[in-house]
Each structure stands twice: as structure tokens, then as C-alpha cells.
Amino acid sequence: MNDCHPLLHSDRADVTPLVVSVSSSDTTQRRRLRSPGPEDFPETLWPDRNATTLAIPLAAGKVSAGFPSPAADYEDKRLDINDYLVRNAVSTFFFPVQGDSMQGAEIFDGDILVVDKSVEPQHGHIVVAFVDGERLVKRLYKRGARVALVAENPVYPTIEVTGEMEMVVWGVVVGRFKRLL
């Protein structure tokens, strides 16, 4: 973990440490703050832990995005969206997207992001982060002492994380839902 720019994760979904760098006139100090919790996200969609499993038919053959294939036309398996997208139910949350800063990553206004707090944020991951109290979705840049949050739309500037900022990587985006019609 970089002492100047700590990126946070926890192996336990119920306890997320929040360590931030705080600059003072003579030294940089580290302090612990309360991690954002469910009460901080009234508009967030939470998985129903008691939901009935719904297995949707999954075709045996893949769909060709090029030349049509004479694949078998029958159901072979069933797909449960929870099994497919939710690795750790207690640490998985759904966030609706507002804005267009991540269009280059195929994340659009109105999409629903699947965010897992138990995944350790790595360079290149798309993350939900708090910067000075503002919740953002951006691509994480972490190389050496440089930490930045990068938009996937050239209209938006890169956010260079400095020691004077409070920044927390809250979770890693592991999937998304999109309506086509």
C-alpha cells in the first residue's frame, strides 16, 4: 500500500477500513474515518439476500456476431444472473450510472453497475471511489507513487490524487446491466 495515496480494500465485507492522507502544516498524518455504509447510499439498489433463484434458459450454442453459424437450436443449460455476476453477495452492490464520463468503457447513463467491495482494486480496474466526499466511477491508475482516476471520455479531465485529497476506492466494478429496449 502506498503511504501517500492509500487505496483501500478489506477481506471482510462488513468492515472496511478508511485510511486517508491528511496534510498539515508540518507533516502528513494518517487517520481512520468511518467507511461509507448503506445509509450513505439511499438511491443504491441492494441485492435481496432472500431472493428466489431464477434460472433463465442459456442456449447451448454461442451467438455469432459475424457470419451466422448452424449451431444447435435448443436449450442446454440455465443461467442464474446472481451466479454469473455476484461472486460475494454480502459485498456486492448495484449502482445506477448518471453521466457520460465512462462511455469509452461502454458504461452509459442509466446502466446499473455491479460493484464488489471484496475485490482488491488494481491498476486498470474500473472502480467506484469517493474523492473529497463525491462518489465517482472511473478507471484506476496506480503506478509507483502516482494514483489517478481516469475518465473514459476525453471531455473529462483525469483526477490526480494528491496528499491533500481524501480518496477511498469503495469497490470494483465487476459487471453491468443495460437495457436495450
Q: Which residues are catalytic?
A: 101, 138
Report the number of secondary-structure helices (H) and strands (E) in the chain.
Answer: 1, 11
> For residue 133, what is the DSSP state?
T
Question: CA 74, 77, 82 angle in degrees (round to 5)?
Answer: 135
Distance (Å, whole) CA 39 – CA 120: 23
* Placement of cell 491498476 in the chain: 123
